[in-house]
Structure 1
Amino acid sequence: MGPLYNLLKTLWTYILLYALGAWYMLKELFSSHIKPSGILNQNGRVAIVTGGGRGIGLETVQQFLDLDMTVVIGGRNVPEVEKAVTQIRGDGKAEGKVICLDLDLTSLASVRRFAEAFKALRLPLHVLVNNAGIMFWPLEITEDGFESHWSVNYLGHFLLTHLLWPVLKASSTPDRPAHVVNLSSSVHYIGSINFDDINSTAHYNAERAYAQSKLAQLMFTKELDKRIKASGENITVNAVHPGVVATELFQHVAWARNFPWLARAFLKTPRQGSDTVVHVALSQRVLDGGHYYENCTITRPASAVRKPNDLHRLWEISCQQCKIGEFGSL
């Protein structure tokens, strides 16, 4: 395809993206915010939150701590994560325990080290929140040869879930299954999987790369749920759109960076963004997997999530990229 085609495609991506963003900001502005419900005390239960040192992840950690959970945070800068946790504990309310471990999702080796470090703690695992993410970054190729959105938002979490699957299974009980929560985004609606060029090396566009990674998270959720139900395992996996939230992810969005007051006026707070995450992770009313949640409510995802052949193809490619055999078998 020529330069003109690529230019038109990029312009169309921007039109779709900003139209979608405007729709969601207005939708959320005029909709009642739903808070988590059906949650009991979580004493003795353990959660992992990737990217739990800021934004939605940190607010999720605080809600878990308020429910007396043990929370293991995976982050790239452990001292900064520990500092953030100290600050949220300043109100004296958070009773749970926090353990911070190094996790760099641009490195599959780091993902493996994190999983081993967690297993060395000999803790159960009742909730895995695949939260960490980046948005609209310039092209960067990771040490493993993958585009950074793909690695951080999707592939690293795919591998982490695989590595921790035996612990999740061992921690489930018939009345309280373990939960996996994948952070997706409404931007998945304009996404597509470029199976022939996952890294978008032919023509990189940060917005399309982000949308692709968030669509992949949803497709992974759907395919994993299908396999769980076929095997009879007692684990639920769901995906969440936390809302259009004012976090550091918007550092590469010009209007939000230049007019922060406008972002504060129209975007959800990180605390509000964490509410659906917490609801899906802990509510006794969430009994089934394979769903996409917005505002604590099941919502219909894009049609791309309902194409079995593509779901299977993505699964196979992901296993190959992570160099794993059967998912969850180590």
Structure 2
Amino acid sequence: MLGLIYFIFITSIVAVLVGLWQKNTNVLCKSKKNLEGKTAIVTGGTSGMGLRIATDFASRGAKVIVACPFIDEGTNGRKHIIERTGNEKVIFKLLDLSSITSIRKFSSEILQTEERLDILVNNAGVGIGFDYLTKDGMNFIMQVNYFGSFLLTILLLPLLLKTGKPGEPARIVNTSSVLHNIGVVDFTNINRLNYWYGIQCYGNSKLCLVLFAHELTKRLNNKNVVINCVDPGAVGTPIFNCVGWFLGGIITYFFKNFFKTPWEGAQTAIHVALDKKAGEVSGQFFKNCKLSRAKQAGYDDKIAVQLWEESIRLVKMDQDEVYQCLQPLS
């Protein structure tokens, strides 16, 4: 018993010291870029880091479309952004990434109503504790965190391709995680229930986002759209409520105070969406507002191609539709 208490004490001290070091090394986006006349979509843009990202874009004058599956949260999030920025060009749209039907409806509306799309931030995600299949037959965590974002991105590509110009590409930002390091891509069991620990499934989804960015970069072949991934760090957000409100609240409080607040966690995504040099690379991985490196498996060409093909199958697209999505809107 004494040994356990000693272990917990030492672990707590180390965690606090690491946290204090982290707090003092957090980097903020320095871009002063104005976004007047630009349009951005932020999934999960009504709470946590997504709300801070959307608020930043709105403060720069962008038309910002925030998307989430909850009416109350979306309405309140939109109101919050407008009050903080004075920008009335903020739109809330329902989007459930665990539903192919919802993703297609959302994408169709965007293509019909919007003239341009300069920035797409795939920020929405869920944590652990959701071991069930969606109506589309995919693991809930995998569909929300990866397959849904994959489909959304592909369907919105024609508008992104129309908008991007030489020297001013349209940008896609995928929110990955340090936990992509524990991720694996097991095509036999990728959506299997009662097989993965929740944190492992989460890591798998975040690695898939890295592989997606790698493969889409090759398929776009410098068509004035770039896609990069970010590791926001350990951030205190509502995502931890998946383990229960009490324990989740403790974890959130700890991360906010010793690692990153949602505003601090949003900085790398904002940097990748705005910074000039960040717009000159694609298929890359950023951390703390700097070009970094994902684990080596995230750049495996063979696995990336297999994942692309499996993703196309699972989200029920055919090759003709994919080809059309890789062409700019006329």
What band does the TM-score fall into relative to the shorter chain? 0.7 to 0.9
Q: Residue in 2 aligned with 1:159?
A: 151
Distance 2:239 2:17 in 1: 17
Given the alignment of the two structures, is residue 311 of structure 1 paired with residue 304 of structure 2, yes or no?
A: yes
Partner residue of 1:58 out of 51, 55, 74: 51
Aligned-residue offset at 1:266: 1.6
Partner residue of 1:244 out of 231, 234, 237: 234
- Kindly tell me: are residues 27 and 157 of structure 1, through their superposed partners in 2, closer, same or farther at Cα, counting changes over 3 Å? farther
Deviation by residue 1:6-44 (Cα, 9 ceiling, x = unmatched): xxxxxxxxxxxx9xx969964862652222133421100
- Kindly tell me: are residues 94 and 65 of structure 1, through their superposed partners in 2, closer, same or farther at Cα, counting changes over 3 Å? farther
Distance 1:214 1:319 in 2: 18
Partners of 1:69 and 1:96 within 8 A in 2: no
Q: Residue in 1 aligned with 2:324?
A: 329
- Kindly tell me: are residues 142 and 271 of structure 1, through their superposed partners in 2, closer, same or farther at Cα, counting changes over 3 Å? same
Distance 1:87 1:216 in 2: 32
Deviation by residue 1:237-269 (Cα, 9 ceiling, x = unmatched): 000111111001111357543465433322301
- Kindly tell me: are residues 261 and 312 of structure 1, through their superposed partners in 2, closer, same or farther at Cα, counting changes over 3 Å? closer
Q: Residue in 2 aligned with 1:110?
A: 102
- Kindly tell me: are residues 132 and 152 of structure 1, through their superposed partners in 2, closer, same or farther at Cα, counting changes over 3 Å? same
User: Residue 193 of structure 1: SS of its match in structure 2?
Assistant: coil
Distance 1:66 1:183 in 2: 21
Aligned-residue offset at 1:328: 5.2
- Kindly tell me: are residues 135 and 109 of structure 1, through their superposed partners in 2, closer, same or farther at Cα, counting changes over 3 Å? same
Aligned-residue offset at 1:312: 0.8
- Kindly tell me: are residues 73 and 303 of structure 1, through their superposed partners in 2, closer, same or farther at Cα, counting changes over 3 Å? same
Q: Residue in 1 aligned with 2:6?
A: none
Deviation by residue 1:180-199 (Cα, 9 ceiling, x = unmatched): 00010000001101211111
Distance 2:248 2:73 in 1: 24
Deviation by residue 1:62-103 (Cα, 9 ceiling, x = unmatched): 000000000111110234212122124334x34351111110
Query: In terms of mean alpha carbon deviation, does 72-81 or 204-213 score higher?
Result: 72-81
Deviation by residue 1:85-126 (Cα, 9 ceiling, x = unmatched): 2124334x3435111111001101100000011122133000
- Kindly tell me: are residues 257 and 304 of structure 1, through their superposed partners in 2, closer, same or farther at Cα, counting changes over 3 Å? same
Query: In terms of mean alpha carbon deviation, does 160-169 or 30-39 score higher?
Result: 30-39
Given the alignment of the two structures, is residue 90 of structure 1 paired with residue 83 of structure 2, yes or no?
A: yes
Q: CA RMSD in A?
A: 2.2
Aligned-residue offset at 1:304: 1.0
Q: Which aligned pairs between 1:1-330 and structure 2 lie closer than 5 A?
A: 26=19, 29=22, 31-91=24-84, 93-95=85-87, 97-201=89-193, 203-229=195-221, 232-253=222-243, 256-258=248-250, 261-286=253-278, 287-326=280-319, 327=322, 329-330=324-325
Distance 1:264 1:68 in 2: 28
- Kindly tell me: are residues 166 and 182 of structure 1, through their superposed partners in 2, closer, same or farther at Cα, counting changes over 3 Å? same
- Kindly tell me: are residues 174 and 107 of structure 1, through their superposed partners in 2, closer, same or farther at Cα, counting changes over 3 Å? same
**One-letter code aligned to 2:156:** L
Aligned-residue offset at 1:323: 1.9
Partners of 1:49 and 1:73 within 8 A in 2: yes
Aligned-residue offset at 1:306: 2.2
In structure 1, runs of 5+ residues without a counterpart are 1-17
Aligned-residue offset at 1:313: 0.6
Partners of 1:106 and 1:156 within 8 A in 2: yes
Aligned-residue offset at 1:173: 1.2
Partners of 1:166 and 1:328 within 8 A in 2: no
Partners of 1:127 and 1:178 within 8 A in 2: yes
TM-score for both structures, normalised by structure 1: 0.87
- Kindly tell me: are residues 174 and 28 of structure 1, through their superposed partners in 2, closer, same or farther at Cα, counting changes over 3 Å? farther
